[in-house]
């Protein structure tokens, strides 16, 4: 699959594998494009004539023969109004240019079609009186980096374009320090290590990420803080910031994050209703003032409680 920007937005070019012969077009597209495009969105694109098979517009029920090329043209998204919602934020730091938030688990960072309310961005808009860069239609105003819904901890938000540009450049240059605390299954033998493995979409399960040969470079560093009976408590540092990077990398080496519903195990999750992953430390140079900023967030109560039980049982 290749993808690029066209005059009408995103353009996907897909080559149908021979083994997919006889499969319906809409089923193949859903399995291939996964979360990039929703099922309803794909259906709309097909009905609008934006999906071509062998150079001709096609219907959803078309049976594929194998080896043909499919072109999917996705127009730019329509501006989505983001509604400000006034609910409490845990603000660790704030000035005229940026703020640092301690996000609780269970909160989605930014809106998406079908999920327009209850996100961190909704609350940020109320907190900043609607003044965040990119608010004129973007779904991620002010967001520089993100945390998964069920990952808690620190993230920085830009309040103007200059700060957003500076923070984005710092992330790209890998000068932003992001450290996490996590609990993984089984005992890791080395005291520290680096996982250097490219990450991309899972070749079959498009809603997941995976270590794949043609993925984007990804490096994760870990240090063992404590070994327990059948678990290891780690401090993890991100060098890159791929989607689900820590979760994918730790599962890749055979030590998935405890409580991870996507990459983890069904057994031994200590009764947790979320993954044991917390963004505990964040450090960067202020993009406007040049001041070096360092922040820390304590382990949330439910994670601290689970860890405490393990430690007592290990004694």
Tens digits of per-residue pLDDT, 269-291?
Answer: 898 999 999 999 999 999 999 99
Instruction: Read off the pLDDT of each residue in 83-98 and give the average, rounded to a whole number.
Output: 92
H helices of the chain, where?
25-33, 39-47, 120-127, 161-172, 245-252, 301-314
Which pLDDT belongs to residue 162? 85
Q: Give the Cα separation of 204 and 34 in Å (integer).
A: 9
| Whether the predicted pLDDT of 206 surpasses 50 | yes
Q: At 204, is the secondary structure helix, strand, or coil? A: coil
Instruction: Read off the pLDDT of each residue in 31-56 and give the average, rounded to a whole number.
Output: 82
Which pLDDT belongs to residue 140? 67
| Whether the predicted pLDDT of 6 surpasses 50 | no
Q: How confident is the model at residue 247 (pLDDT cuts 50, 70, 90)?
A: very high
Instruction: Read off the pLDDT of each residue in 147-159 and give the average, rounded to a whole number.
Output: 95
| Whether the predicted pLDDT of 1 surpasses 70 | no
Which pTM does this prediction carry?
0.75
- 91-172 and 177-314: identical CATH topology: yes
Q: Is 150 a catalytic residue?
A: no
Domain ranges of the chain: 2-74, 91-172, 177-314
Give, in order, the Cα–Cα distances in Å from 62 to each of 11, 27, 35, 53, 128: 20, 10, 22, 9, 49
Which residues are CB-neighbours of 86 under 8 A, at least 6 positions away?
A: 123, 126
Sheet of strand 56-57: strand arrangement: 2-6, 9-15, 69-74, 51-53, 56-57
- Please give the DSSP secondary-structure letter assigned to residue 63: B
Buried b (16+ CB within 10 A) or exposed e, 216-243: eebbbebebeebeeebbbbbbbbeeebb
Instruction: Read off the pLDDT of each residue in 191-201 and give the average, rounded to a whole number.
Output: 96
The CATH architecture annotation of domain 2-74 reads: Roll (3.10)
**CATH number, span 91-172:** 3.30.2350.10
Q: How confident is the model at residue 7 (pLDDT cuts 50, 70, 90)?
A: very low
Query: Does domain 177-314 correspond to CATH entry 3.40.50.300?
Result: no
Token pair for 214: 């043609």
Which pLDDT belongs to residue 116? 74
Averaged pLDDT score across all residues of the chain: 88
Q: Give the Cα separation of 124 and 129 in Å (integer).
A: 8
List 36, 96, 129, 148, catalytic entry: 148
Q: How confident is the model at residue 264 (pLDDT cuts 50, 70, 90)?
A: very high
Which pLDDT belongs to residue 164? 86
Which pLDDT belongs to residue 136? 37
Percent of the chain at pLDDT exceeding 70: 90
Per mean pLDDT, which of 41-50, 110-119, 224-233 is the most reliable? 224-233
Which pLDDT belongs to residue 94? 96
């Amino acid at each position: 699959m290749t993808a690029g920007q066209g005059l009408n937005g995103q353009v996907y070019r897909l080559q149908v594998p021979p083994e997919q012969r006889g499969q319906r077009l809409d089923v193949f597209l859903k399995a291939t494009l996964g979360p990039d495009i929703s099922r309803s969105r794909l259906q709309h694109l097909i009905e609008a004539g934006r999906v071509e098979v062998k150079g001709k517009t096609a219907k959803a029920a078309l049976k594929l023969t194998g080896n043909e090329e499919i072109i999917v043209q996705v127009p730019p998204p329509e501006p989505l109004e983001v509604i400000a919602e006034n609910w409490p934020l845990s603000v660790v730091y704030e000035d005229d240019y940026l703020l640092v938030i301690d996000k609780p688990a269970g909160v989605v960072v930014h809106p998406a079609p079908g999920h327009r309310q209850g996100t961190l961005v909704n609350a940020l808009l109320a907190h900043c009186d609607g003044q965040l860069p990119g608010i004129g239609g973007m779904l991620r105003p002010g967001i520089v980096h993100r945390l998964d819904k069920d990952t808690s901890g620190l993230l920085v938000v830009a309040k103007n374009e200059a700060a957003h540009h500076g923070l984005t450049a710092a992330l790209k240059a890998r000068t932003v320090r992001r450290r996490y605390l996590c609990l993984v299954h089984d005992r890791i033998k080395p005291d520290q290590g680096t996982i250097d493995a490219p990450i991309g979409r899972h070749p079959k399960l498009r809603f997941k990420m995976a270590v794949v040969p043609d993925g984007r470079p990804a490096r994760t560093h870990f240090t063992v803080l404590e070994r327990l009976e059948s678990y290891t408590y780690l401090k993890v540092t991100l060098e890159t910031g791929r989607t689900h990077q820590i979760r994918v990398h730790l599962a890749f080496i055979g030590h998935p994050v405890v409580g991870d519903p996507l990459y983890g195990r069904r057994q031994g999750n200590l009764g947790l209703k979320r993954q044991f992953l917390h963004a505990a430390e964040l450090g960067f140079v202020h993009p406007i003032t040049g001041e070096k900023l360092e922040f820390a967030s304590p382990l949330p109560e439910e994670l601290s409680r689970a860890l405490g039980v393990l430690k007592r049982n290990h004694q």
